[in-house]
Structure 1
Amino acid sequence: MKWVSHVTLTGTIAYAITADPMCTAAAALGAVLPDKIEGTPASQGWSTWRSRHRGWSHWPVLYLALIGGLAQAKAYFFYDAAFFSVLTWLFIGALLHIAEDAVCGKVPGITPTQKVGIRLFSVGSFREYAFVLFCIVVVYAGQYILRI
């Protein structure tokens, strides 16, 4: 997916769950984190970047471990609820990025070398934006139904 799709969809999901602008912003930032870690094609050449794209930075176990580590760190370090919440949502944003990439290609699964996913659309296509719009409508419809 394009970054705009990641940020829009992840931000919508985060706000629907938290109604907290700070957590939403952290999730939206996390939504581009896996790609930012890899760099850009311009910085390293297309073939080098492409060979590394959706590698270890897209491995969900890494972000799950970081979230688990944060949960454990609360007991051993200073505890500021806002700080831990923002960091947690940053990593949740990265997990949502990976899930979103898994519907337009393959991403690492349980191991970093195992690739899983489907290709419902091509990156940057009209179908990508229609998929994002559909997901946003589902999120808001779900919220509406839950409030009734």
Structure 2
Amino acid sequence: MTGVSHSIVTFATLYVATHNVFIAGSAMLGSLFPDKSEGLFWQSAHRSCSHWFVLYVAALSFFWTPDVLSVTGVQMWQAGLIPMMRRFLFWFAAGGLFHILEDAICGPVPVLYPTKRMTVLPRLFKVGSVGECLFVIAYCAVLYLIAVKL
């Protein structure tokens, strides 16, 4: 997926799930991290170490606290900077996992080893294609219908 598609799908999913802009925004930024962290090596190292889910699961485990799922803006502000950063980093890592899952529907991603990519889900479209755009629109439409029902 392109960066825009990663941002839209991740933000929309987590906003519908949590109704929290901080959570959705943190995850949206995290969904851009795997590609942005490749920097100058993007062509030779794309979808390798930066797309290995184990790193993001480890980060989620490290930043996990029981109250990370239910948080309001007032609670975050009153809690202080360290708990707020911990929550941000937890949802940032969750966004990285969303990125990997989103990439898995349009090509191979590393599963067992960080440098060996495997196809784990059916390829629904090519990156940057009209199919990707239609997928994002349809996905957001389904999320909207789910949100209206809730």
Q: TM-score, normalised by structure 1?
A: 0.81
Runs of 4+ in 1 over 6 A off after TM superposition: none
Distance 1:18 1:82, change over 3 A: farther
- Shift in Å at residue 11 of structure 1? 0.6
- Shift in Å at residue 140 of structure 1? 2.1
- What SS does structure 2 have at the residue aligned with 1:110? strand
Q: Larger deviation: 4-13 or 19-28? A: 19-28
Give the root-mean-square deviation of aligned CA atoms. 2.1
Q: Tell me the equivalent position of 1:123.
A: 127
* CA–CA separation in structure 1 for the residues paired with 2:31 and 2:43: 19
* CA–CA separation in structure 2 for the residues paired with 1:93 and 1:111: 20
- Shift in Å at residue 16 of structure 1? 1.0
| Matched residue type, 2:147 | Q
- What SS does structure 2 have at the residue aligned with 1:109? strand
Q: Tell me the equivalent position of 1:31.
A: 31
Q: Mapping of 1:40-59 within 5 angstroms?
A: 44=40, 49-59=42-52
Question: Does structure 1 retain, via aligned residues, the 8 Å contact 2:35–2:50?
Answer: yes
Q: Tell me the equivalent position of 2:2.
A: 2
Q: Tell me the equivalent position of 2:74.
A: none
Pick from 132, 137, 142 the counterpart of residue 138 of structure 1.
Answer: 142
Q: TM-score, normalised by structure 2?
A: 0.80
* CA–CA separation in structure 2 for the residues paired with 1:49 and 1:23: 28
Q: Tell me the equivalent position of 2:93.
A: 91
Q: Tell me the equivalent position of 1:109.
A: 111
Distance 1:87 1:49, change over 3 A: closer
How many residue pairs align between the two structures?
A: 135
* CA–CA separation in structure 2 for the residues paired with 1:71 and 1:88: 6
- Shift in Å at residue 7 of structure 1? 0.5
* CA–CA separation in structure 2 for the residues paired with 1:7 and 1:136: 12
